[in-house]
A and B are shown apart, each in its own frame.
Chain A
Amino acid sequence: MSTNNIEILLVEDNPNDVELTLYTLQKHHLANRIHVVRDGAEALDFLFCRGAFESRNPNHSPKVILLDLKLPKVDGLEVLRQIRRDERMRLLPVVIMTSSREERDVVESYKLGINSYIVKPVDFDQFSEAVRQIGCYWLLLNQPPIF
């Protein structure tokens, strides 16, 4: 699949969470144009069209980034910081999807201009409902600011 017409960028290091998220999105026909990166550095490469994503067209941004906070190499908050510093991407919708309920994570994320903060539930019924709602909302309902 071309990385040029991606609608969802999923930044998630836990393979189980990746699979469960994809399973749910697929079930609701929302996973056609999703790309998964497994750490913060790869996410930045994707977004800034560097390294393995050199040939990606920088004018095609995803409709939403689903970003975990605790990530290898570069953590989620740092990814967020770099996105928000970039003139082209600073308005890109970012939804934090994390296990952390820590208040400082929530506050710090909102300070960096996230669009939503979701604590991933342990209960799969609740988890898949959260993923379904996020998918429907950001892909179908929401009007993105650019592109």
Chain B
Amino acid sequence: MRIARDGILLYINEVGLSLLQEWHLQCGQTVPPALRDIVTQTMNEGVARTYDLKHRDRDYGFSVAPILEAGYANLYCHDITDRKRAEEEIRTLNAELEQRVRVRTAELLAANKELEAFSYSVSHDLRAPLRAVDGFSHILLDEQGTQLPPETQRYLSLIRSSTLQMGRLVDDLLAFSQLSRQAMIKDQVQPAALVREAWDLLRSEQDGRHVKLTVGDLPSCQGDRALLKQVFVNLLSNALKFSRKRDPAIIEFGCNCKDGENIFFVRDNGVGFDMRYADKLFGVFQRLHRSEDYEGTGVGLAIVERIVHRHGGRVWAEAEPDKGATFFFTLGEKIS
């Protein structure tokens, strides 16, 4: 249709008439104020533009092209009611979704808080009785030791060592549960330096042994420094532990690039394990060796897995009984 600057309808075609039936448009007459306003505005601005107008329960889209020298504008009209409704529906759905996310987040926060209170209580209340059991067994041994039959002394020692083992379990379990609550601070990390730091922390486990560590060329990576150091400590500590009967123990920390991904690995020449049980390796409190042979709580590799997963990476192992083990991990980084 064509509307003059003063709002008089100059021309309208069949399609326009049927589309705008409700508007009661007639050539030679002034159009309703809403239409007149968009014509005035477009003529003043001098550039074509589009407007959405609502009339009764329907929506219309107008493209308005001003023909300044002729003193009128050409208008093209579409019924956009369905599109508008769909948009409205999406808006409502989004709002609902946001509301649901808010509710869920609040629920999660509450659950997290409860978990925190739980672990706080565990850390306080579970240690105290253990200290008492260990302490009084110790005092009994100290004060009556020489008068007690050897078997009784042995039982008391067993009570003490079990208590200390339980203490380690509580500590490790707490460390594990705190992992997911801890915020991650990602940074550019030089793994070689971290390997050295981790290795130094494990000095006492190398005492009196013949151990050879080789560190390959390790590319820098993105990650949380403290958490990655924990991964390195746990993997190296395992490598040291399970190669204890080797002379020399040979441990290698290296990295391969495969399919655009850096794959770090820690390899030892220790006792290894049967691949049939590999799926149990990373479970909490899962152990593949008897505690008389190799002490531990079975939390170290669970911690490794959780940290690697939090970095978006994967961890797995390859081994053979008596032929050493290799632990591989990625940190979810693609190399271009």
A interface vs B, CB < 8 Å? Answer: 14, 16-17, 20, 23, 69-70, 98-102, 120-125, 127-128
* Other-chain residue from B124, B125, B130, B136 in contact with A122 (beta carbon distance below 8 A): B130
Q: Is the CB of A127 within 8 A of B120?
A: no
Asked whether B132 is an interface residue with its Cβ less than 8 Å from the other chain, the reply is: yes
Asked whether B131 is an interface residue with its Cβ less than 8 Å from the other chain, the reply is: yes
Contacts of A23 in B (CB 8 A): 135, 139
Given contacts A122-B163, A123-B164, A16 and B123 within 8 Å (CB-CB): no
Instruction: Give Cα A100–Cα B137 distance, bound, in whole angstroms.
Output: 23
A-B contact sample (17 more), CB < 8 A, given A101-B123, A123-B164: A14-B132, A16-B128, A16-B129, A17-B131, A20-B135, A98-B124, A99-B128, A99-B131, A100-B120, A100-B123, A100-B124, A120-B127, A120-B131, A122-B127, A122-B134, A123-B134, A124-B138
Looking at the assembled complex, report how far the CB atom of B119 sits from the nearest CB atom of chain A, in whole angstroms.
Answer: 8
Asked whether B148 is an interface residue with its Cβ less than 8 Å from the other chain, the reply is: no
Given contacts A17-B128, A99-B128, A124 and B123 within 8 Å (CB-CB): no
Contacts of B170 in A (CB 8 A): 122
The prevalent SS among residues of A at the interface is loop
Bin the interface of chain B by size. 20 to 34
Instruction: Give Cα A101–Cα B132 distance, bound, in whole angstroms.
Output: 18
Q: Is the CB of B120 within 8 A of A125?
A: no
Q: Is the CB of A122 within 8 A of B167?
A: yes
Nearest chain A residue, comparing its CB with the CB of B129: A16
Contacts of B130 in A (CB 8 A): 122
Nearest chain A residue, comparing its CB with the CB of B141: A124
* Other-chain residue from B120, B129, B131 in contact with A124 (beta carbon distance below 8 A): B131
Nearest chain A residue, comparing its CB with the CB of B132: A16
A sample of 6 inter-chain contacts (CB < 8 A) reads A16-B135, A17-B128, A99-B125, A122-B167, A123-B134, A124-B138
Q: Is the CB of B131 within 8 A of A122?
A: yes
Q: Which of B103-127 contact A (CB under 8 A)?
A: 120, 123-125, 127
Asked whether B278 is an interface residue with its Cβ less than 8 Å from the other chain, the reply is: no
Q: Is the CB of B127 within 8 A of A124?
A: no
Contacts of A98 in B (CB 8 A): 124
Contacts of B97 in A (CB 8 A): none
Q: Is the CB of A99 within 8 A of B164?
A: no
Nearest chain A residue, comparing its CB with the CB of B134: A124
Contacts of A127 in B (CB 8 A): 131, 135
Instruction: Give Cα A127–Cα B132 distance, bound, in whole angstroms.
Output: 11
A-B CB proximity, top 7 nearest = A122-B167, A16-B132, A124-B138, A124-B135, A99-B127, A20-B135, A122-B130
Contacts of B125 in A (CB 8 A): 99
Instruction: Give Cα A124–Cα B123 distance, bound, in whole angstroms.
Output: 17
Given contacts A14-B128, A122-B164, A123-B167, A102 and B134 within 8 Å (CB-CB): no
Looking at the assembled complex, report how far the CB atom of A67 sits from the nearest CB atom of chain B, in whole angstroms.
Answer: 14
Contacts of A101 in B (CB 8 A): 123, 171, 174
Nearest chain B residue, comparing its CB with the CB of A123: B164
Q: Is the CB of B127 within 8 A of A70?
A: no
Contacts of B123 in A (CB 8 A): 99-102
Nearest chain B residue, comparing its CB with the CB of A103: B178
Q: Is the CB of B124 within 8 A of A121?
A: no
Instruction: Give Cα A80–Cα B166 distance, bound, in whole angstroms.
Output: 32
Instruction: Give Cα A125–Cα B128 distance, bound, in whole angstroms.
Output: 15
Contacts of A16 in B (CB 8 A): 128-129, 131-132, 135-136
Contacts of A120 in B (CB 8 A): 127, 131
Contacts of A69 in B (CB 8 A): 124
Contacts of B128 in A (CB 8 A): 14, 16-17, 99
Nearest chain B residue, comparing its CB with the CB of A16: B132
Q: Which of B142-192 contact A (CB under 8 A)?
A: 160, 163-164, 166-167, 170-171, 174
